[in-house]
Structures are given as C-alpha cells and as structure tokens.
Amino acid sequence: MHVLTAHAPRRLAEGWQCVSTPAGACATPASLDSFTQWIDAPVPGTIASALRASGVVDDALAQPFAHADHWYRVRLSGKGKRRLRFNGLATIAEIWLDGRKLLDTDSMFVAHDLDVDLDGEHTLHLCFRSIAPALAAKRGRARWRPKLAQPATLRNVRTTLLGHMSGWCPTIQPAGPWRAVELIGESRACIDDIDMRTSVDGSDGVLDVTVRFFHAQEPMALTLECGGANCAMQWQDAHTVKGRVRVPNVRLWYPHTHGEPSLHAVKLGDIELGEVGFRTIEVDRGADGKGFQIVVNGVPVFARGACWTSADIVALDAPRKKLDAIFGLIRDAGLNIVRVNGITLYESDTFYELADKHGVLVWQDFAFANFDYPDDEAFRGSVQREAEQFLARTRRFASLAVMCGGSEVHQQAAMLGLPFDAYQQRLFTELLPGAVAAQRPDVAYVVNSPSAAPGDTESMPFGTRGGITHYYGVPAYQRAFDDVRRAQVRFASECLAFANVPDDVALRALPNARAHEPRWKAGVPRDPGSAWDFDDVREHYMQSLYRVDVPRLRYENPERYLELSRAVVADVIGAVFSEWRREGSTCAGGIVWNLLDVRPGAGWGVIDVLGAPKSALHGLARVLQPVQALILDEGLDGLDVHLVNETAHEIRARVELACLREGSVKVAGGSRDVVLQPRSVQRVSSNALIGAFFDIAYAYRFGPRAHDATHVVLRNADSGDVLSEAFHFPDPSISERRDIGLNVSVERDEQGWSLIVETAQLARWVHVDDPNYYGRTDWFHLAPGSARHIPLVARHADVRAAPEGDVCAVNASRSAAYRAS
C-alpha cells in the first residue's frame, strides 16, 4: 500500500528478537525464561535470516528449521483501538499479546488481522511451531507420492516447498514472519484497506476504488483523480468511501516488448494511492482450440521469459533495490514474462509494482506442486482464503496476466501411469478457477503447468502439440535440434534447463571448487533419483556441437572447459528460440527454467547468486529483442532470415548478408530493402539475397567449405543504424584459435564507464572478465572491422575501483587487456 505516511499503517520492523527452542519445550511465553540466547531479528524475515544477520555463514543455514520451535518478541506501545496485521507467518504459528494467545494459524499463505486495545506498554510474541505434528496427521490416502519434496505428507501443510527439495535448492526451511507485520490505527486518518480495480471500456479506462479507514471519519468531500480525470467519491458508511473514474482515450499498459507499460497515478484528495495500468488480457487458442497465446489489448504476444524462484531464499523477502535490478536485467534481455512457480510462494507487492513499471507480464502459479492434495473441508476453506487474499491484494497490478492451478500435478500423476480422470482434482477444476473468476476475471486461468488443451482428455498433460508443455527435448533429454521443430510446441511454460556456469568472479566466491569435484557438484541441480545431472546435459551439447573430448578438456584445460561451457548454452538457447520465433512457428511462448540461482555454482539460473547475468541470459538477449533478425538452417534450401517487428510501427529497413572465410574475407553476399509491417514476422531466403547458388548451409558438400560464417545485418533504411545482427556457422565447432586482432579501449562519460571493443576478424562469443564490473552487453559475436560499445555495470554499490580486466573471444588466441587510468 503506497500512501502518505500519515494515512499508512506502520510497519513493525524494529526491535524484534528471536530465540529457537526444541519442539514443544515452551507452551507459553512465560516458559521462555530459561532461554537466554535471544538475537536481534529482521522482520519481515525468517529465523534463517536472523541467524545470517548475526554472522552465521550461509552454508550453516541449511537446517530443518521447520522441525523446531522459534519465538519472536517485540514491545508495543500506544493507547486505544488498533489492528495488528500479519501478512505472512511461516508456517504453524501462534500469536500472543501479554501472555494471552490470540490466534493459531496453520498456513504460510494466509494473512490475519487482530483487533486489540492498547493501553501503555505491551509485549507481542509470535511462536512458530514445528510442522512435524502436521506432517504426521492423517488426511486421506495420497494416490501418488512424488520424489520432488520430502516427506510426502507436505501435501497436508500450506507451506512453500523451498527448503524441502534437496536436489533443487538449499535445505533452508522457512520459519518466521516472512511478510511484514503492521500496526493500523495510530493516526485518526489511517487507512485500513485500498481496493483498486481497472477495466477497459472501448477506448476508455475505468477505475473503481474503495478505501476503508480504520477509524470512523467525518464525511467530507473527496475527489478521486487518475490520468487527468476525476470524480467525486461517495461515502458508504463512516469508514468506507467509493468512487469510479473514467479516463477517456486512456494510454494502455503493454509489455515493454510491444509498447509502453503506461501507468497512471491515483490520488484520493492529497492521498497518493499508487499507480495503475489499464489493459485487457485474452488467450487465443488457435483454430484447433489447442494453442495458447497471450493477447494483450488485442495484440498477440510471443511471451518469453524465465521461471522465478526467490531473490533471497534465506529471508524470502528481497529489498526493492535488488528486485529493481533484476527486472532491469529482464528488460534488457528482451524478456517479457516471469513465471512464479508453484514450488515457491506468492511474491510481494513490490515485485508486482516493479513488473508493472518494467512492462513484464507475470504468470503466477498458485502454490501447489506435484502432490495429490487433500479435499477435506478444512483444507478447502484454507485454500479458498489463501486464493481470495492473494487475488484481492494483487488486483490493481496490470502485469498479472495468468493464474495457474499449480506445477506438474497432472504431469506427476500421468507419468506414474494414472488415467486422466484420476488426477482431476476439484482444487484445480473448481475452487481455484472459481476464485479467479470472482476476484480477477481480467486474467487467464490455466488448470496446471503442464496440461493438455481444455477438453482434451486423451493427450498426455505434457504433450507438446497442444496446451501447455514443459519442453525439455532440448536440452535435458539430449535431443537433436530438429526435435524443436518436430515437437510443434504451442507454449512452453518451462524449457531449456541447463547447469549454467557463472562468470569467473562468481566462481572465485566458491570455496576452491574445481569443475566436477564434489564441492562443485553441490551447486549443480539434478532431478531426484536420476543418475545424471545438468552438467551432463550441458556437456552433451559441448561434445555434439563443438566436437571436443569433454572429460579430457575438463581436466587438462579447465579454463577452456568453463569458457566453452558458457558459450554452448548461449548457442543452444539461441537456436531454440530462433526456431520458436520464426515465421510459421506453432509456438507462442517459452519460459526458461530458471531466472535466478538460489546458491553458488552452476545452477539453473540465468542470473547468478551475486546478481550478475550469465552467458545464458546474454544468449537470450541475442535472439529476443522486439526488432530481431534470426537465421534458420533449412539444409538443402540454404538459410532463411526471419525478420521480426513486434512494435506498433512500420520499419523501413535493409537486410544485408555476407558469407565470410577465415573470419574476414567476403566470398558471397547480397542485400535487399524490406518493409517490416507492425506486429509481423517475414522470411527472406539466402538464395534470394545472394541471387545465385551458394552452398551457404554446407548441405551439398560438393567440396571443401567455402566459408566459415554468415553474417546478417538489419539496418534502418533511413539512418543506417544497425537494428539487429545474426550469425550462422556451418561448422559450429570452435577448435581453432588464432589472433583475430581483438582490441579494447576504456571510456568514461556522465553515464559511467564503458568499453569500446574492435576486431579485425570475426570474434565469436566476446565476453568481459573484470573483478569489479560486468558488461551490460556481453557474450556476443562481433563482425570483422566493427566496434561495439559496452557499458559497464558495477558488481556492487560500493565499487570505487576503475575498470581493469580482459575482453576475450572463444576463437581468439589472445585476450585484449584494459586498464582505466
């Protein structure tokens, strides 16, 4: 809630202390006298974040905290009626005021309000009990038992699976007040609740606002303002005022790839209520009813992004500055959607505010994954409250586009051999869609991820040719690239999981971990029970694409092994998304697994635990911009160049193609003027550009290859500015390294430090190695005779050192060193 201080609740964030006890050791706060090891505790936070703040190292935080008891305490003062709001307590919790228990709660995902009368000084205690009794409770017989999280009775407890999945993330089990505790009513005009709902009517935006004050108010004239329009509010009673304002010809909110994420400030008199966006969300299921494409304001969107885990797996509540930096990286990479997976939790208001600001769609799973959940009245009642609270809390956010019943529930059951009817749970087919229809009818609902198309009872829920799929043919199942086209994916809500190697700065933070040794493997994810991990997946493509002896390279030249490990994921990711974005593709979106690492090492994340982008994110950026040239190898038909224009404007452009030998000698080429229509993809063949036969894909093999690379440039026809570049290598291996004439210089202006990189010959996968900075643009190919401006980003806010490092390319025999004076 973003309101002026005089009207806002006060966060109880200071003065908290906590202590851990054996389960059941203290029945009441009065029993705590024998426990003296109280420590200061950040709130919101967890017992793990309190220990971290006290100096406990991260490795020591992987503990079963949920199986002990933890007490928090804070002093309150005041006089009169107040409301205590607990926005999230993990997980089995009790609330005590002055030794009197006020509430028991058994869900991490439900908020609670308690009205109290304060009279001077008081002590508030929160007790977080062991979840062991809840795990042991009988709640029906499960029809299947997944390996994802243990024990299987976690199905009975409304808590995140983070911390309970040993193969996927650190076993830091959440316990504590992970969301804010607020005190409402200290000022006479304190606002208790704000509800803002937006809709679009023709070309107008319609905003409905309800504001409820905690104390009774003297009715006064209040005006609601939004987008230059205003209306008079109407008092419903002494606490509640309502109003509707219509904004003519409203500027609509779009994902940043397709327009401006326009937001409009809302004010009630002099009270700033925040910002809202106006947009419509629909789903286009295609002519056969089996597709899935998100349509925003009538515009079909190719949705591309990554799955969210947690920006702080210890505290579960990341600061705004950190989240803002992550959304900046998302936007720079051309991503336009984030999926908050069912194994995680419901994200904060700040998360959604930043998604609105940056123009990033959000696919939010309800917090369910893999299990056969109970269907008793108490469980359904708790889930109903959980769903309604989340949907009401996020009602004002334009970025929320898709609500999904949960993750891999249908898939888990189907893969264990159960028929369709056996895994249809009322939770996903009735309760949750009913809540969405009532609370957020402006968002789409998906029964599960993955799941077959509506009405399809015969296809597997993870089938690729209809509905929502998790596509891992490439890379996890180590299929050849032609599987991407054969699979005919309609929408991949998960895809492209790799053990993504971070840069050398992040690796140096590991305790002497060398590739493939036990400490390295601790950070490499694996599916529970599998005999392989995601290092193996990455190494398969290193061997098949680059034709290297991977085990030998790993122990003879570990630096080269790491460099090629970073390059190959960018190559594979680029190839898959190029296929999905081409003209004629059946695919309307792909969401990579995952956005963020949750521990050091080669994790699934495309952003490392230090907040720096990995080569995988830069590889995505190379093929996911709104205006994009892509190259597809069509074998005997040569290369097809696909030109994407997702903007609302026509672009007059020129496409240029050059085939290069030995990195710089042009042996064939051609160009053509094109007009890129708004919201379009068009194909231009290499044969048409060259105007004569040339074995550009080296498919006919009549003799030795005449070239080693194809370079395509898309330029603005009027200004000559480069809009996009694409490269193709008929032999993708990177066995030969030579002096390619790589040079770098350092510049500084009012924006900060930057590098100017030049090369005499084609440079493949250029990347920056600097202990204090990373390249905002990195892991790219650079054409011969060209230069690239690379802004540098400080790795930490307190960096004062000047840039000093190396610019490298994977086909260069020497790097280019730089040092700013």
pLDDT digits (tens, 9 = 90+) for 761-793: 999 999 999 999 999 999 999 999 999 999 999
Is residue 196 in a domain? yes
Please compute the mean of the pLDDT values over residues 690-703 and round it to a whole number. 95
Q: How many domains does the chain have?
A: 5
Query: What is the model's pLDDT at position 58?
Result: 85
Residue 511 pLDDT > 80, yes or no?
no
Residue 5 pLDDT > 70, yes or no?
no
Q: Of 554, 585, 618, which residue is a domain's last?
A: 618
Please compute the mean of the pLDDT values over residues 7-28 and round it to a whole number. 96
Nearest Cα neighbor of 285 from 6, 588, 680, 598 is 588
Domain shared by 544 and 485, yes or no: yes
Rounded to the nearest angstrom, the gap between the alpha carbon of residue 614 and the centroid of all alpha carbons in its chain is 14
Residue 581 pLDDT > 60, yes or no?
yes
If 0-12 CB within 10 Å is exposed, 13-18 middle and 19+ buried, where does residue 815 land?
middle
Domain shared by 563 and 637, yes or no: no
Spell out the residues 6+ positions from residue 762 whose beta carbon is closer than 8 angstroms to its own: 660, 663, 664, 708, 709, 711, 740, 781, 782, 783, 784, 811
Domain shared by 71 and 167, yes or no: yes
Query: What is the model's pLDDT at position 643?
Result: 98
What CATH number is attached to the domain comprising 807? 2.60.40
Domain shared by 573 and 668, yes or no: no
Query: What is the model's pLDDT at position 724?
Result: 98
End-to-end CA distance of the chain: 47
Is residue 17 in a domain? yes
Neighbours of 623 (CB within 10 A): 25
pLDDT digits (tens, 9 = 90+) for 65-101: 999 999 999 999 999 999 999 999 999 999 999 999 9
What CATH number is attached to the domain comprising 213? 2.60.40.10
Does the bond joining 151 to the residue before it have cis omega, within 30 degrees of 0?
yes
Spell out the residues 6+ positions from residue 448 whose beta carbon is closer than 8 angstroms to its own: 404, 405, 406, 407, 408, 409, 410, 411, 428, 461, 468
Query: What is the model's pLDDT at position 510?
Result: 81
Share of the chain above pLDDT 70, in %: 99
Ranges of beta strands (E only) in 288-369 are 293-296, 299-301, 303-308, 337-340, 361-365
CA atoms within 13 A on the CB side of 622: 30
Where residue 821 falls among pLDDT bands split at 50, 70, 90? confident
Is residue 369 in a domain? no
Domain shared by 716 and 756, yes or no: no
Query: What is the model's pLDDT at position 138?
Result: 79
pLDDT digits (tens, 9 = 90+) for 420-448: 998 999 999 999 999 999 999 999 999 99
If 0-12 CB within 10 Å is exposed, 13-18 middle and 19+ buried, where does residue 397 land?
buried
Query: What is the model's pLDDT at position 522?
Result: 84
The span from the CA of 752 to the CA of 65, in Å, is 44
Residue 2 pLDDT > 80, yes or no?
no
Residue 162 pLDDT > 70, yes or no?
yes
Is residue 319 in a domain? no
Residue 264 pLDDT > 70, yes or no?
yes
pLDDT digits (tens, 9 = 90+) for 246-261: 999 999 999 999 999 9
Is residue 647 in a domain? yes
Domain shared by 144 and 72, yes or no: yes
pLDDT digits (tens, 9 = 90+) for 584-609: 999 999 999 999 999 999 999 999 99
Is residue 98 in a domain? yes
Query: What is the model's pLDDT at position 530?
Result: 83
**Strand pairing partners for 314?**
none
Query: What is the model's pLDDT at position 3?
Result: 56
Is residue 127 in a domain? yes
Residue 4 pLDDT > 70, yes or no?
no
CA distance readout (Å), 724 to 299, 592, 712, 728:
23, 23, 8, 14
Domain shared by 106 and 19, yes or no: yes
The span from the CA of 746 to the CA of 753, in Å, is 7
Where residue 651 falls among pLDDT bands split at 50, 70, 90? very high
Where residue 514 falls among pLDDT bands split at 50, 70, 90? confident
Domain shared by 653 and 773, yes or no: no
Question: Structural domain of residue 670, as residue ranges?
Answer: 627-728
Domain shared by 478 and 577, yes or no: yes
Q: Pick left, alpha or beta for residue 380 (phi over 0 → left; psi -120 to 50 → alpha; otherwise beta).
A: alpha
What CATH number is attached to the domain comprising 514? 3.20.20.80
Nearest Cα neighbor of 689 from 672, 714, 710 is 672
Nearest Cα neighbor of 591 from 456, 714, 493, 731 is 493
Domain shared by 48 and 152, yes or no: yes
Domain shared by 701 and 775, yes or no: no
Q: Of 569, 595, 618, which residue is a domain's last?
A: 618
What CATH number is attached to the domain comprising 53? 2.60.120.260
Query: What is the model's pLDDT at position 139?
Result: 84
Query: What is the model's pLDDT at position 374?
Result: 95
Tell which wins on pLDDT, 231 or 2.
231
The span from the CA of 286 to the CA of 490, in Å, is 10
Tell which wins on pLDDT, 586 or 7.
586
Q: Of 210, 244, 276, which residue is a domain's last?
A: 276
Domain shared by 17 and 153, yes or no: yes
Nearest Cα neighbor of 436 from 503, 390, 496 is 390
Query: What is the model's pLDDT at position 453?
Result: 96
Average pLDDT over all residues of the chain: 96
Residue 538 pLDDT > 70, yes or no?
yes
Is residue 708 in a domain? yes
Residue 576 pLDDT > 60, yes or no?
yes
pLDDT digits (tens, 9 = 90+) for 711-762: 999 999 999 999 999 999 999 998 789 999 999 999 999 999 999 999 999 9
